[in-house]
Amino acid sequence: MGSWQWNDQQKPTSAVGVRATAGAVTMKDDPQAPQRPYVFVRGLDSKLHVNWWDGKAWHWSAQGAPTGRSIIEKVGAVTVQDGPNAAQRPYAFVIGDDSKLYVNWWDGSQWNWSDQGTPSGRLVREGVGVVTVQDNPSAPQRPYVFVITDDFRMWVNWWDGSKWNWSDQGTPPGRTISRPLGVTTMRDNPNAFTRPYAFVITDDSQVWVNWWDGSKWNWSNQGAPSGRPVKKGAGVVSVQDSPTAGERPYAFVQGYDSKLYVNWWDGKAWNWSDQGTPSGRLILDSVGTVTVKDGPSAFTRPYVFVIGDDSKLYVNWWDGKAWNWAAQGAPAGRVVERPGEAITVQDNPNAAQRPYAFVITDDSGLQVNWWSLP
């Protein structure tokens, strides 16, 4: 039987603590290799650092910053695969103190910083999220980076296979974008191309999604839980009922009542569900959302990690029949101060996925709550 563990990832250096996380991914050196976590953070020095697993031990590496710049905000991280048999390569997107988009990326032999710029005449305000798009299952993966600009419109910086482009996604009709929620991709079947879905919260505290239908972009009003305006996002994932089924988006949000809600697609219609709160607690913030597969042929099960008003970690998870709340606690002698990132790790292609939830504690250190197999 497996068990939950806490592990102290420490700090980038003894003198530099963690201010915020900047994204997390898992790396595979080849399709049959174990997944290895990489967690990017913004240090108290306003530079990028990565905490990564080499297969035997954890390491901290200093990624620095774009020349002459400081890092002020995250956008997100993804891995890019140039083909089905290629190694995965991490890309971490951040916003500089000049309100431009930058990426720290691995080319296969070394790390590079690239200036992605901004949409013409605009500044980048904050990130919505990052996904990769595939034109078919054997095609190269292409990053799409969604951001909100200083005029409260959404833009996407995307790779077409030969160059980067900026595209104006606009705003929902008659509304202003207030806050990001998150991004995911959809496949209508395992052999289909991927379709991006970018969720945002508008000035009336409702959820909207900007999504690609295969030929054009659309804005759809997802509304809000009955009588409950939406305060902030808690994460977006896609759920698959079997390896041959279509993917279905789930967008988790926090209401102003400090409860968790989910807007989800059942295959025919969108629904809102009240996930409630951990017993006797309120939700302060969210850490991240993942889906877990117990094996290659299993369905995916969402796990949503949140911080309670007691500065402890909790998870709202689906066991295949019902939703459950579980108290994950906090590292010994510490409290959870700031949210981090959530990922799943797979020890081999046939293994169960194991959740890892990274958080920042009151000593500006990085800690992880992870599921260990026997």
Q: What is the mean pLDDT of residues 116-123?
A: 97
Q: Model confidence over 259-280: pLDDT tens digits? A: 999 999 999 999 999 999 999 9
Give the pLDDT score at 1. 76
Q: Model confidence over 165-187: pLDDT tens digits? A: 999 999 999 999 999 999 999 99
Q: Higher-confidence residue: 227 or 218? A: 218
Give the pLDDT score at 74. 98
Global pTM value: 0.97
Give the pLDDT score at 373. 85
* pLDDT of 152 strictly over 80: yes
Give the pLDDT score at 314. 98
Of 174, 222, 218, 217, residue with least CA distance to 200:
222
CATH superfamily of 3-372: Fucose-specific lectin (2.120.10.70)
Q: What confidence category does residue 344 fall into, taking pLDDT thresholds of 50, 70 and 90? A: very high
Rounded to the nearest 10°, the torsion over CA 290, 43, 330, 235 is: -20
* pLDDT of 2 strictly over 90: no
Q: What confidence category does residue 126 fall into, taking pLDDT thresholds of 50, 70 and 90? A: very high
- Average pLDDT of the chain to the nearest whole number: 97
Q: Model confidence over 24-76: pLDDT tens digits? A: 999 999 989 999 999 999 999 999 999 999 999 999 999 999 999 999 999 99
Q: Model confidence over 276-326: pLDDT tens digits? A: 999 999 999 999 999 999 998 999 999 999 999 999 999 999 999 999 999
- Percentage of the chain surpassing pLDDT 70? 100
Q: Give CA–CA dist 212/195, Å, rounded.
A: 5
Domain boundaries, the chain: 3-372
- Percentage of the chain surpassing pLDDT 90? 98
Give residues with Cβ within 8 angstroms of 158, minimum separation 6: 133, 142, 143, 144, 145, 164, 165, 167
Give the pLDDT score at 374. 77
* pLDDT of 233 strictly over 80: yes
Name the β-bridge partners of 25: 38
